[in-house]
Amino acid sequence: MVSSYGHRPPVTEGVAEVIVKDIKSGEGKSGASEVPLAFQTGRAPVDPAALGHTRKQMTMFAVFALAVLAVLLVVWWAA
């Protein structure tokens, strides 16, 4: 149970013993994951092909933006 302040009450010795017993009874039943759940971020691994595609798109956008800026500057100086 979590209090209104967001803190959990301390684990009593009885609860700690139940947790230890539960962990020991589950040992060897399933393989351990490579990354503990506490360290998983939920983000998918970055695909190098997708990263390269994104870089290409950003480069094309930058070239387009610079071309529009150049056209606007030429029109402004001509006026």
pLDDT in tens, 23-64: 777 666 665 556 566 666 667 777 888 888 999 999 999 999
Average pLDDT score over residue span 4-19: 72
pLDDT score for 32? 57
11 contact partners, CB below 8 Å, separation of at least 6: 19
Residue 79 and residue 76: Cα distance in Å, rounded?
5
Q: Look at residue 1 and tell me whether its pLDDT is greater than 80.
A: no
Residue 19 and residue 12: Cα distance in Å, rounded?
11
Which position has the token pair 């979590």?
2
pLDDT score for 62? 98
Average pLDDT score over residue span 4-23: 74
pLDDT score for 2? 53
